[in-house]
Structure 1
């Protein structure tokens, strides 16, 4: 039973790390969208690159955990880990949408500037 408790504790730690990375990514995505509103597209793209690094870090933790089950290790159910996965996937979607929005608005502004010239 002690080993199972240690495994649960380790999974909780991984889950919290995933949530922290995903939360940092979400903050950067939201800040990037604010920069987009202010037409600061270069800064928005920098923030999105930073967000992506946190998304990748969180995803790596998730993958390492899921691979344990694929190797035949008995999985531990954890609501916290499920929440971490949900948070990661939501932020990943927000990131993808924000990335496109920044590109679209940059192009629109470039077209408008070209028409005014």
Structure 2
């Protein structure tokens, strides 16, 4: 059961990070760079939590535990990777909006 909890936690934190990243872009577009920065910080915290859960799975496998590759695990990995990419792009968008604001 813990396996499914870890996977769902990855999905949850990744989704929250994605939402915070999108919110950062919206705030930057409106010129509110303080709120944009706070959203990016939140995205980073959520990604750190998701990555920590992913690390648990990697460590278990490295210690010889068989990790079943399920559709749910693939879905969680997809969410995490997309959230990381979106956070990186959101950071660039915020910087671009700052530059355009000057």
TM-score by length of 1: 0.82
| 2:22 is equivalent to residue 30 of structure 1 | yes
Gaps of 5+ in 1: 1-8, 111-117
2:37 — aligned with what? 45
Instruction: Supply the RMSD in Å over aligned alpha carbons.
Output: 1.0
Match 1:79 to one of 66, 71, 77:
71
Show the 5 A alignment for 1:52-71. 52-71=44-63
Q: State the distance in 1 between where 2:26 and 2:34 align.
A: 12
Superposition deviation, residue 62 in structure 1: 0.4
Deviation at 1:108, TM superposition (A): 2.2
Distance 2:62 2:74 in 1: 17
2:84 equivalent in structure 1: 92
Higher relative contact order (CA 8 A, sep 6+): 2
CA distance in structure 2 between the partners assigned to 1:33 and 1:104 by the alignment: 10
Structure 2 regions of 5+ residues with no counterpart? none
Point out the structure with max Rg over C-alpha: 1
Equivalent residue number for residue 3 of structure 1: none
How many residues are treated as equivalent by the alignment? 102
CA contact (8 A) 1:11 1:81 kept: no
Query: Counterpart of 1:17?
Result: 9
